[in-house]
Amino acid sequence: MDPYAPTPADRFTFGLWTVSNPGRDPFGEPTRAPMDPTHAVAKLAELGAYGVNFHDHDLVPDGTPAAERDRIVARFKRALDEHGLVVPMATTNLFTDPVFKDGAFTSADARVRHYAIAKTMRAMDLGVELGASTYVFWGGREGAEVDGGGKLFDALSWYRDALDYLCDYARDQGYDLRFALEPKPNEPRGHAFLPTVGSALGFIATLQHPEMVGVNPELAHETMAGLSFPHALAAALDAGKLFHVDLNDQIMGRFDQDLRFGAENLKTAFFTVLALQEGGYEGPRHFDAHALRTEDEAGVWAFALGCMRTFKMLEAKAARFLEDPDVVAARAAYRADDPEGAWPPRYSGSHAEALKGRTFDLDALRLRGPGLEHLDQLTVEILLGVR
Ligand code: GLT
Ligand code: MN
Ligand code: MN
């Protein structure tokens, strides 16, 4: 048996919008035909995926009459049942319709803000109907190019008002839903509000129901901001807020590329897998990426399978890394205990006095080599299959 063949036990998920991405970009028309959502379900199941996620608009185009909506949903449910796929996450498209051109929850027009809340409630109903337990908020249009309008502070408080309202709605409906905010530094807006995982974590603490809200970090988005994705994951996990994750790849400093997982930065992908494992993340492993615009449908499935296989191969490398005796020794040697006191120190007045008065052998500490070059080379050798 192929040890890297994905199975539902791996909990790999894809957005409908990822495999159905038609290859449109700001300079060119689509290169692939639209894909029927039930076809995406059948193919993803065949490849070994666990679930599929969607925006309201991916499944039920905005403005669809109620009877037609029910027909689309029933047909999609039958496809899920037939192929054994689940819907762990859902979200709202608050960016395609020109009504959202200057923001949804942060539009300067209160009518747009109300409409965005209404649309999100309907999309939450749809997501929950199909089984979603995580609800993502990517603030695609929540941002600005012009700061002279003076909405910098209002925007954050409008965003907060909307999320507080939607938490109340979910509670009132008895929905078992957690919200996950997805940061991104820019694109499509010049500057996005809540641009990084760190800013989202700070904002969540200001909400009325902070326990209901976490983050959905995306590898490409933190990389666009020049930040480290494994560090962002660690910060989210440390705060108990890693509710979901968007895996893909990205060249730093470029437009949002949403490349196949592992396509660009294999070492970052490795430390991403390791961080999820060591941090105890147990949620779905969601790929938010799409096939290159050059590809036909066969390329789409090669892309989807590639994301999952690379994750599994890196998982095997992570296990190897954690078991390698030289790595274990190098990791142990990197840390040093303090024979004169346990960590963390317990504060007391007398402890503080003693600590201030302690003599440290600073020359020895200055000269100590932590062995990180050796450890990092071991990592590279494991990744290249030499160890
Ligand atoms: C869009 C965006 C993604 C978000 C999706 C969820 S939509 O494709 O680029 O990063 O996760 O709204
Ligand atoms: Mn992206
Ligand atoms: Mn994403």
H helices of 64-151, in order, are 66-83, 110-129
> Do 19 and 36 form a contact (C-beta atoms < 8 A)?
no
> Do 35 and 20 form a contact (C-beta atoms < 8 A)?
yes
Looking at all shown ligands, the one closest to residue 225's CA atom is 2
Widest distance between CA atoms in the chain: 78
Give the per-residue pLDDT at 117. Answer: 98
> Do 55 and 93 form a contact (C-beta atoms < 8 A)?
yes
- CA dihedral for 139, 141, 146, 151, sign (positive or negative): negative
Ligand 1 atom showing the smallest separation from residue 184 Cα = 10
Q: Say which of 58, 249, 258, 288 is annotated catalytic.
A: 58
In terms of residues, how long is the chain? 387
Ligand 2 mean position, distance from CA 142 (Å): 15
Q: Where are the domains of the chain?
A: 8-315, 325-383
Looking at all shown ligands, the one closest to residue 17's CA atom is 1
Residue located via tokens 């490398």: 317
- The residue whose C-alpha atom lies closest to atom 7 belonging to ligand 1 is 138
> Do 227 and 205 form a contact (C-beta atoms < 8 A)?
no
| Token representation of residue 238 | 């440390």
Q: Say which of 55, 244, 286, 290 is annotated catalytic.
A: 55
Rounded Cα–Cα distance for residues 314 and 379 (Å)? 12
pLDDT along the chain (387 residues), means of 10: 96 98 97 98 98 97 96 98 98 98 98 98 98 98 96 96 98 98 98 98 98 98 98 98 98 96 98 98 98 98 98 98 98 97 97 98 98 98 97
Rounded Cα–Cα distance for residues 51 and 205 (Å)? 30
Residue 318: count of CB within 10 angstroms of its CB: 20
Rounded Cα–Cα distance for residues 328 and 175 (Å)? 45
CB of 321 sitting under 6 A from ligand 1: no
| Token representation of residue 62 | 């905005």
Residue located via tokens 């500057």: 191
CB of 58 sitting under 6 A from ligand 1: no
Ligand 1 atom showing the smallest separation from residue 18 Cα = 8
Rounded Cα–Cα distance for residues 103 and 162 (Å)? 12
| Token representation of residue 168 | 């109340």
CB of 17 sitting under 6 A from ligand 1: yes
- The residue whose C-alpha atom lies closest to atom 4 belonging to ligand 1 is 138
> Do 330 and 381 form a contact (C-beta atoms < 8 A)?
no
> Do 235 and 277 form a contact (C-beta atoms < 8 A)?
no
Give the per-residue pLDDT at 1. Answer: 86
Residue 144 has φ and ψ, to the nearest 5°, of -160, 155
Rounded Cα–Cα distance for residues 60 and 223 (Å)? 32
CB of 246 sitting under 6 A from ligand 1: yes
For domain 8-315, give the fold: TIM Barrel (3.20.20)
H helices of 205-264, in order, are 219-224, 229-238
374 in catalytic set? no
Rounded Cα–Cα distance for residues 1 and 131 (Å)? 32
